[in-house]
Structure 1
Amino acid sequence: MKKTIIFLLIIIMSINLTGCWDQKIYEKSGFVLQVGFETYNTNDMLISFTLPVVDMTAKERTELIYSNGAMLREFREKARKTSAKVVEGGKIQQFLIDDSLAKKGINNLFEVIERDSTDPPTAFVLITEGSPKEMFQVLQGYGDKPVPAFYIHDLIRSNIKSSYVPETRMFQFSTQYFSPGIDPIIPIIKLQTDKGKGVEVTGTALFSGDKLVGKIDTKETPFLLAMMGKMKGTIFISKRLTEKEQENNKKGCAISINKVKRKLSVNILDNKPVVNISLNLNAAIAEFKWNEMYDSDFEQYVEGVISAEIKDLCEKVLKYTQEVGSDPIGIGDIIRAKHNNYWEKINWENAYKDVVFNVKVNVNISNHGVIR
């Protein structure tokens, strides 16, 4: 009898706890795949949406809607008045923001996006060199590319694997923005016509708070990620060996970095933060001089030259981050956790410019892949 009563109570509670949701019919919904924001004038932005076109007889595979407006919600209502379907945001793949708008600050914009529970927090955030609207329009005419949203999605994912750009999704940007002592970074893309039609990743945007303050290229980004402990592996093209080997090698050397170990320590000496960064890179020579047999002395020479070149590159990136006032590694966050008494006494935005960085790089070439 007791078991029967418990069973009935469970059934009654299950019925009472069931909820409901507004019905959304797929065939009548226009799912936004991309959202673009760019500068329009002093008070307004130009906002763009792309939506998939299901009709196989249609000329374009995506529907492009754009208009100026001061508020995102204002534009969404304008879009609903021109789209044949109900505009929904649950399938957004990317938020694209032009660099001129990003320099003014983007957190207020993101706060509005995050308040809508249908906007996915896992959508990529990208900075564009040029107009997002123009990029959407041009990509509509590329018949040899997938739907623009999926093309850019796959492009970013493949370059994240090669460490040419960071992985920055909506929730990651917001987390870093609200964390004292660490600044967000975002991939940069642009339309490319000189190397074949398409979109190219060009580097990484550095932020101070929510404002874009600087940029680094795709050669520098992997080693910023390495110092952050986030490098996944990359191909590094060394030009310094070209200078040393002019007679026999005029191309340079390509090495494949497949494993990275980072050690980082922060100390306060003479009232200044001193940061020691050690990178141990395991690599293989991917391309150098063919039909050569290398001895151990030459291997050590190559390791030394490339280690010094990467060290100089890391120091250049760190110096630049100090000049523009961006702390992507999160040195301030470490100091806040481990040296809180010092943290409470200083303004980190000013103190970061005086941080002393000591960088040590060791490249270990495990094999050279020679063909003989």
Structure 2
Amino acid sequence: MQKIIRIKINKILVISIMVVFSSTLIGCWDQKIYEKVGFIFVVGVESSKEKHKKLLVTYTNPAIGIGKRNQVELTSQEADLLRQAIEISRTKTSRPLESGKIQQILISKELAEKGEIHNLVSIFSSDPLSPTLAFLVIVDGSPYELCKKSLEFPDKPRIGVYLNQLLEAAVKDSKEPETRIYNFDTEYYAEGLDSIVPMIKLESTTVKLTGSALFSRDKMVGNIDVKQTTLMLAMMNKLKNTAEYIFRVPNIEEAHSGVRDGIAASIKKIKRKINVTIDRGKPIVNIQFKFKGFIDEYRWDDLDKEKKYRELESQMAEELKNECLNIIKYTQAVGSDPLGIGDIVRAKHSDYWKKVDWKEAYKTAEINIDVKFELESHGLLY
């Protein structure tokens, strides 16, 4: 009986100590009511046309509580620094602006071509309240005009939601790279690897995907279209899912004049092997790609016969080889290395890497490509 009483007393004592101790703790709750906060969804950055060397920074945030769907509050501010623009904008909006929900950072093509994009976006990677998962996007035109025009889109959701849906669908279909703030930051510090960033353009009542911007460090040096972007992602081994690709295959089309041209095919997977050697101070790069896929749409052309099937595979592989080689030659000409060949050189030929300026050495590197394409099946034939 005495033992039971002692146990109960000990429990009461422990509970009492916990209550007293917890009551002495000082807690903080930084409460933010949703209806009273302006969550920034989109940030646009471009050069100011009015004031020399200043930035024009645009913000969009949902206008909550005004009784209409998809309403957006648009704010723009000229400033020397992004942080300065944010602080000034907070004095002009109906709600305090918060950056924790940013979906996209839009940079004008003109500004990207000037370089120093890393310095611009570093504020988002260093600020713990800013999400590094926000898409980095290059706009062929003015981000301000794009955001302003989006207020008039009759059949689209808010611009932040619309762009997010557009980009995520494009990434899933391997039409655009998935370049977020943290990706760009990581690749900026990798000396032998350059970023590719999705590009968009404003059209009358919509936004169009135009391909990808090629970077050398943090300066935009060129761009490729959507079809080339799909191949680039394949070469980078970054296909998210099965990717659609339209083949011309000219040798076959010439035999069927008057009939619809092209072959719609899907690239299912790819294997790549990159080997780099140094011969008399010059990098020799041999790349092997093995594509696998299937035909989605093509005329009936004896594809049930083995010989014809293999002939088609060979011609599709030849077309892929030429297209891939053209893309790589273009990246060499502009000085962008998204395949990360420099990373391979740095890892396997460190003595050579230390002696050269890779950006210049990459432009003169000899790059050879071997491509194989294996058809696993054929689908719709006509």
Q: TM-score, normalised by structure 2?
A: 0.89
CA 1:302/1:210 → structure 2, altered by over 3 Å: closer, same or farther? same
* Structure 1 residue 90 corresponds to structure 2 residue 100: yes
Q: Deviations over 1:29-65 (max 9, x none)?
A: 1000000011214311111000001225248611111
Name the residue aligned to 1:215.
223
Name the residue aligned to 2:164.
153
Query: SS in structure 2 opposite 1:165?
Result: coil
Aligned length: 369
Moved more, 307-316 or 78-87: 78-87
Letter of the aligned partner of 1:210 in structure 2?
Answer: D
Task: Indicate if the aligned counterparts of 1:293 and 1:370 stay in contact, CA closer than 8 A.
Answer: no
Letter of the aligned partner of 1:236 in structure 2?
Answer: Y
1:1-372 alignment runs, 5 A limit: 20=28, 22-41=30-49, 42-58=52-68, 61-105=71-115, 106-193=117-204, 197-232=205-240, 233-241=242-250, 243-247=253-257, 249-290=259-300, 294-370=304-380
Q: What is the alpha-carbon distance in structure 1 between the residues aligned to residue 192 and residue 366 of structure 2?
A: 16
Q: Deviations over 1:201-251 (max 9, x none)?
A: 111100111110000111111121122111233111112346433336332
Moved more, 330-339 or 320-329: 330-339
Q: What is the alpha-carbon distance in structure 1 between the residues aligned to residue 287 and residue 48 of structure 2?
A: 43
Q: What is the alpha-carbon distance in structure 2 between the residues aligned to residue 77 and residue 54 of structure 1?
A: 21
CA RMSD of aligned residues (A): 2.7
Task: Indicate if the aligned counterparts of 2:62 and 2:70 stay in contact, CA closer than 8 A.
Answer: no
Query: SS in structure 1 opposite 2:138?
Result: strand
Q: Give the superposition deviation at 1:351.
A: 0.9
Query: SS in structure 2 opposite 1:245?
Result: helix
Query: SS in structure 2 opposite 1:43?
Result: coil
Higher radius of gyration, 1 or 2: 2
Q: Deviations over 1:54-110 (max 9, x none)?
A: 225248611111121111122112221221111000000000001000011211111
Task: Indicate if the aligned counterparts of 2:335 and 2:359 stay in contact, CA closer than 8 A.
Answer: yes
Q: What is the alpha-carbon distance in structure 2 between the residues aligned to residue 262 and residue 11 of structure 1?
A: 63
Letter of the aligned partner of 2:180 in structure 1?
Answer: R
Task: Indicate if the aligned counterparts of 2:294 and 2:377 stay in contact, CA closer than 8 A.
Answer: yes
Task: Indicate if the aligned counterparts of 1:227 and 1:277 stay in contact, CA closer than 8 A.
Answer: no
Q: What is the alpha-carbon distance in structure 1 between the residues aligned to residue 359 and residue 27 of structure 2?
A: 48
Q: Give the superposition deviation at 1:303.
A: 0.8
Q: What is the alpha-carbon distance in structure 2 between the residues aligned to residue 102 and residue 314 of structure 1?
A: 25
Task: Indicate if the aligned counterparts of 1:99 and 1:130 stay in contact, CA closer than 8 A.
Answer: yes
Q: What is the alpha-carbon distance in structure 1 between the residues aligned to residue 294 and residue 211 of structure 2?
A: 24
Task: Indicate if the aligned counterparts of 2:188 and 2:218 stay in contact, CA closer than 8 A.
Answer: yes
Task: Indicate if the aligned counterparts of 1:226 and 1:262 stay in contact, CA closer than 8 A.
Answer: no
Q: What is the alpha-carbon distance in structure 1 between the residues aligned to residue 19 and residue 331 of structure 2?
A: 60
Q: Give the superposition deviation at 1:338.
A: 1.7
CA 1:303/1:12 → structure 2, altered by over 3 Å: closer, same or farther? farther
Give the gaps of 5 or more residues in structure 2.
1-10
- The runs of at least 4 aligned residues of structure 1 exceeding 4 Å deviation read 3-19, 290-293
Q: What is the alpha-carbon distance in structure 2 between the residues aligned to residue 185 and residue 8 of structure 1?
A: 61
Q: Give the superposition deviation at 1:23.
A: 3.0
Letter of the aligned partner of 2:181 in structure 1?
Answer: M
Moved more, 181-190 or 136-145: 136-145
CA 1:349/1:14 → structure 2, altered by over 3 Å: closer, same or farther? farther
Q: Give the superposition deviation at 1:15.
A: 9.0
Name the residue aligned to 2:5.
none
Moved more, 123-132 or 109-118: 109-118
Q: Give the superposition deviation at 1:22.
A: 3.2
Q: What is the alpha-carbon distance in structure 2 between the residues aligned to residue 276 and residue 11 of structure 1?
A: 71
Q: Give the superposition deviation at 1:14.
A: 8.9
Q: What is the alpha-carbon distance in structure 1 between the residues aligned to residue 26 and residue 199 of structure 2?
A: 45
Q: TM-score, normalised by structure 1?
A: 0.91
